[in-house]
Amino acid sequence: MVIPEMATSHPFLLDSLLALTALHLAFLNPDDKRPWMEAALKYQNQACSVFSGILVEISPENCGPAFLCAVFILLCATAYPCVAGDTHPFDPLAQVLETRRLLVGCAVLYHHLHQNPGQLKEWLRFPNDVKREENVTSQGTWNAKLVPLRSALLDSLRQVAAVMNDASEPQRAAYQDTWDFLHDTISLWPLFGPRGGIISWPVHIGEDYIALLKQGDWIACILFLHYGVGMHLLSDKCLYKRFLQFGPKLSLG
How would you write the pLDDT of the chain (253 residues) with one tens digit per residue?
688 888 889 999 999 999 999 999 998 998 999 999 999 999 999 999 998 888 888 888 888 899 999 989 988 887 887 788 766 666 777 777 887 888 888 888 888 887 777 777 766 665 555 554 454 444 445 577 888 999 999 999 999 999 998 888 889 999 999 999 999 999 988 887 777 788 788 878 888 999 998 898 999 999 999 988 888 887 765 444 444 444 434 443 4
**Cα(175)–Cα(157) distance, rounded to whole angstroms?**
11
CA distance 103 to 70: 9
Q: Taking the CA atoms of the chain, what radius of gyration do you get in angstroms?
A: 19
Report how far residue 46's alpha carbon sits from residue 200's, in angstroms, rounded to the nearest whole number.
Answer: 27
3-state secondary structure of 29: coil
Say whether the peptide bond before residue 190 is cis (omega within 30 degrees of 0): yes
Contact 44, 72 (CB under 8 A): no
Full-model pTM: 0.68
The Cα angle at residue 123 between residues 118 and 125, in degrees rounded to 5: 105
DSSP per-residue codes, 198-253: GGGHHHH--HHHHHHHHTT-HHHHHHHHHHHHHGGGGTTSHHHHHHHTTHHHHHH-
